[in-house]
Amino acid sequence: MRTKIFSLFIAIGIIAVSCNKDENAMASKQGITREEIAMEGKFDKSIDDVDNIIEQGFLIQSGADGRALNSSRFLSDCGTITSVLEGNTWTVTIDFGIDGCTLSNGNILKGKIILSFTNDFQTMTKVISYTFENFYHNDISLNGNKTFTRVKANANGNPESRFDIDMTLTLANGDAYTRTGLRVREWTAGHDTPHIYADDIHLITGNWTTTSPNGTKSATITVPLKKLGSCHYIVEGIIVFTRNDSEAILDFGNGECDNQAMLTIDGGVPTAITL
């Protein structure tokens, strides 16, 4: 009798493992959905703001070419910045509070972003380490730590930031998404007019992978994303998402400032999506 019961437990275990494998296989084969791309847009918004905050926090501390005025306009009155110098290393803490505060673009932040970098501000390339402490962007919790590399002048003579992404983004319902990759932002116009924000233009390139409850998909910016200082949205550029045989193309348009993009999934009819 014991032998039969033991055999039954083994059989149940094998079936359970088999079911889990089947579910994981089905998830990995599932086509990319419109809802997933909308969620990617939320994550992009969070990461774009973090990218901005890290760069602006560094510029405020360094006083680079008077850009602190431009930087504070992005942060508005959101966040308290404190800095401590130990030896030749600055630790800069940007604290958005436990109740949250609102950026100039309307996004609500809570918690802290902590930066660390050396005080040799005249170097052409500066590596900035960052980490999060109970940090939320709207309703998304961000965790992780990595580096942010700022170049004073790239091959085009423009400031450039390279944002190494390695973070977990957790929704209010507990669903966790892990994103790893690289995001490069070139400041192509407006960096020589630090007191004017509206004339800024950034071009963003990069690639990353996102692991979610539906599996892992890759994303590549095939046409640089164009971001204007006068607009809260991306106005041009294309991102291509792939997972196995499924492909989604997100086209941000031809320069108009709006929150719309055209989404094409698996060669179907392009449809408008609100980001």
- Of 113, 127, 129, residue with least CA distance to 81: 113
Cα distance between residue 26 and residue 43, in whole Å = 24
Would you place residue 213 in the very low, low, confident or very high pLDDT band (cuts 50, 70, 90)? Answer: confident
pLDDT, tens digit, 9 for 90 and up, residues 43-94: 999 999 998 898 888 888 877 544 443 445 567 678 899 999 999 999 999 9
Q: Report the pLDDT averaged over residues 215-227.
A: 96
- The model's pTM is 0.82
Q: Could you tell me where the DSSP H helices lie in 63-174?
A: 68-75
% of the chain beyond a pLDDT of 70: 84
Where helices occur in the chain by DSSP H, the ranges are 2-29, 34-62, 68-75
SS3 content of the chain, % helix, strand, coil (to 5): 25, 50, 25
For 89-141, the pLDDT digits (tens) are 999 999 999 999 999 888 999 999 999 999 888 889 999 999 999 999 999 99
Average pLDDT, integer, range 145-155: 90
